[in-house]
Amino acid sequence: MCHRYWHRFFNKAKESHKMDRKCHILCQLLMKACKDPSLQSKLDEIWKKAYDEGRFHLLNGILYHKTKHTGVMTLTYRTLINTVLHEFHDSIASGNISEDRTLERVKTCSWWPNWRKDVAEYFQACDRCQKENRSTGKKF
């Protein structure tokens, strides 16, 4: 079951790259393996900067963002982002871990613009975490 779940997740990510304007442009640039100024000019600054730094790679139709030590899947659809946040913070296997540990887990598999801000907002919206933090007064 787990294999099928992740297979569907990867397929959804691949489809989202075709439908998202920024990802579609990046995929075109990477497939052409050239710097096309007319295509690059259509990217937002954060995407253009990462592209110019050579951080994006295309593998089997999935767009990856390279960090110092890893290459992680680029996500753009809110439903996929929410799935990642849920799996790495709320799921039974995760057990409502701290914000810092959630950040560490998310950065090992996915990237999207402002992902750190989204993790912080998700953590702040978690009723269970906020109640537990208030009762102990400790940082997770």
DSSP-assigned states of every residue in 49-102:
HHHHTT-EEEETTEEEEE-SS-EEEE---HHHHHHHHIIIIISTTT-S--HHHH
Closest CA to 113 of 61, 58, 55, 70: 55
pTM across the whole model: 0.73
Q: Give the tokens for residue 35.
A: 């710097």
At 66-93, the pLDDT tens digits run 987 788 888 888 888 888 888 887 765 5
At 88-114, the pLDDT tens digits run 877 655 565 677 888 888 888 889 888
Q: What distance, in Å, lies between the first and last C-alpha atoms of the chain?
A: 32
